[in-house]
Amino acid sequence: MGATTVSATRSEMRTMMSSSTSRPLFEVNRSLMNSGVVLLCVGFFLWLIGAALSATALGQAAMKWIDQMEESPSEIARKRAHQFKEAVSAGSKAWREQSH
């Protein structure tokens, strides 16, 4: 008999709590949500394919541009590095001569 009384009070407390905090239910239209998720996935894969195609086109254009150059980028970089080294040594030489 004591167990029945305890469960009755719990039931009454649930009823009181649910009536005192009555909030509107947040209901989601599942079919609309599923359709949205499917469209998001399709859109993502289309975006991914578009990104891959764009990257391929840019890569091909860059290769053609490099082939049309008179000097390769590595040759240009070597020349610039040599010029930089010469400028640094000339500057340090001038600084040493001026300080004496």
- Residue 53 within a domain: yes
**Residue 60 included in any domain:** yes
In angstroms, the CA 8 to CA 12 distance is 6
Q: Do 96 and 76 belong to one domain?
A: yes
Q: How many angstroms separate the most distant Cα atoms in the chain?
A: 109
Structural domain for 63, as ranges: 30-68
pLDDT > 70 in the chain, percent: 78
Q: Which residue has the higher pLDDT, 90 or 20?
A: 90
Based on the fold, state whether residues 76 and 59 are members of the same structural domain: no
Asked whether the predicted pLDDT for residue 3 surpasses 70, the reply is no
In this predicted model, which residue has the larger pLDDT, 57 or 100?
Answer: 57
Compute the average pLDDT of residues 4-21.
58
Residue 75 domain-assigned (yes or no): yes
pLDDT at 7: 54
| For residues 42-55, average pLDDT | 98
What's the number of domains the chain is made of? 2
pTM above 0.85, yes or no: no
How far apart CA 37 and CA 31 sit, in angstroms, is 10
